[in-house]
Amino acid sequence: MLTPEQKNHFDTFGFVILRDLFSPNEVKTIRAEFDGAAERASEFEPFDGTKMHYFRMMGPETPFYTTLPEDPRFYGVAEQLYGEKTFAFESNAYRYVGNTKWHYNDGSSNYHGYGIKFQFGLQPVTTNTGALRFIPGSHKPAFQDRLVQVSPLGRRYYDTQQAWDDIDKVPCYPAEYGPRDVVAFDLRIFHATWGGGIDRQMSCVSFFHYPETPEEKETMRHIAPTYLKVNPVGKVPNWNDGIREQWIANVEGSAKRQQWIDSMKEVSLITQSETGMQLIADDYGMTKVTLVD
């Protein structure tokens, strides 16, 4: 649970740093599971520092990561923010290469599909060595609508050279943190990284808000099915491509996980006639939700 001060910080600025959330022993477990996953991934394609590696940590090989969403330190916060119907959809680990462009609305093409991401790193990160940079308050739709007009932030700039060259020109707050800390952020906030080198080891656990308004339902009915698919990850040949399938099968019989899977299925079954809304995409993949004509 967040303290009232932490919750206020999160609501206002769109992120909060949770210091010393993990014990030193948990950090060792995270390291061991991460290294195991990285090693198996490199058997498929050696990590050579030119391409990010991405692992789904949702199977029996990584029991600590797999059950992290079911840890009350994570789902307790998500439920505190969004109510009991919030649902987890990923527990991932990454070996990032280079900088990360400014981006926002993670996992959603508009700000009606929102939730919380808990990110934690295996190495300490500082402003110029890969810390997440946030534009405080950019999770708020009115502010975001202004920001997307500014180079290099909006999706219209994603494929431009400025998107890479100007990462460090944008006013921001760098969230410096160490291996025991967790940075929680609203999926809608503008974020980037700078100076992270060629093997920045990061992990995350994420939750979506259960859709309530017609706009949210119309947005999420498109997103939820993507997390029920069992297709390969895609970018990198992966030792754990079948892992989401195992997670969805829930052979361990976790009641919490089942509740989330059921929620994703429910949301996937929402029809457009129920919402009365439609998604209209612009040339850059940004969608707006409007009433059906």
In the complex with Fe ion, the residue whose CB is nearer, 236 or 261, is 236
Q: Return all residues near 81 (Cβ < 8 A) that are at least 6 apart.
A: 2, 7, 10, 116, 209
In the complex with Fe ion, the residue whose CB is nearer, 61 or 106, is 106
In the complex with Fe ion, the residue whose CB is nearer, 89 or 239, is 89
For residue 106, the minimal CB distance to Fe ion (Å) is 4
For residue 158, the minimal CB distance to Fe ion (Å) is 13
Q: Closest Cα partner for 230 from 56, 113, 22, 4? A: 56
Nearest-CB residue to Fe ion?
106
In the complex with Fe ion, the residue whose CB is nearer, 70 or 106, is 106
For residue 18, the minimal CB distance to Fe ion (Å) is 18
In the complex with Fe ion, the residue whose CB is nearer, 106 or 266, is 106
- Torsion of the alpha carbons at 208, 213, 215 and 217, rounded to the nearest 10: 50
Amino acid making up residue 199: D
Distances (CA, A) of 25 to 30, 32, 37: 9, 11, 19
Site string for Fe ion, 25-44 (x = CB under 5 A): --------------------
Site for Fe ion in 89-108 (CB under 5 A): 106
Site string for Fe ion, 106-145 (x = CB under 5 A): x---------------------------------------
Contact call for residues 119 and 179 (beta carbons, < 8 A): no
Q: Closest Cα partner for 185 from 18, 30, 1, 4? A: 18
Compute how many residues bind Fe ion; rule: CB under 5 A.
1
In the complex with Fe ion, the residue whose CB is nearer, 55 or 239, is 55
For residue 122, the minimal CB distance to Fe ion (Å) is 17
When asked if residue 155 is in the footprint of Fe ion (CB under 5 A), the reply is no
d(CA 250, CA 252): 5
Q: Closest Cα partner for 134 from 197, 196, 199, 191? A: 191
For residue 107, the minimal CB distance to Fe ion (Å) is 9
Rounded to 5 degrees, φ, ψ at 198 are: -110, 5
What residues line the site for Fe ion (CB under 5 A)?
A: 106
